[in-house]
Structure 1
Amino acid sequence: MAALKRSSAQMVAEARARIEELDSESAIALHGAPDVVFVDLRDVRERQRMGYIPDSFHCPRGMLEFWVDPDSPYYKEVFGQTDKRFVFHCASGWRSALSVALLQDMGFEAAHLRDGFSGWHKAGGPMVPPVDPAP
Structure 2
Amino acid sequence: MTWYIKRFDELTSLEMYRILQERTAIFVVEQNCPYQEVDGKDLASYHLYKEENGEIVAYSRLLPAGIAYTEASIGRVIVKREYRGKGLAQELFRKSVEFIQNELKEDKIKIQAQHYLEKFYNSYGFEPISDVYLEDDIPHIDMMRITTT
- In terms of fraction of residues, the more strand-rich structure is 2
TM-score, structure 1 normalization? 0.29
TM-score, structure 2 normalization? 0.27
For CA contacts below 8 A with separation 6 or more, give which structure has more relative contact order.
1
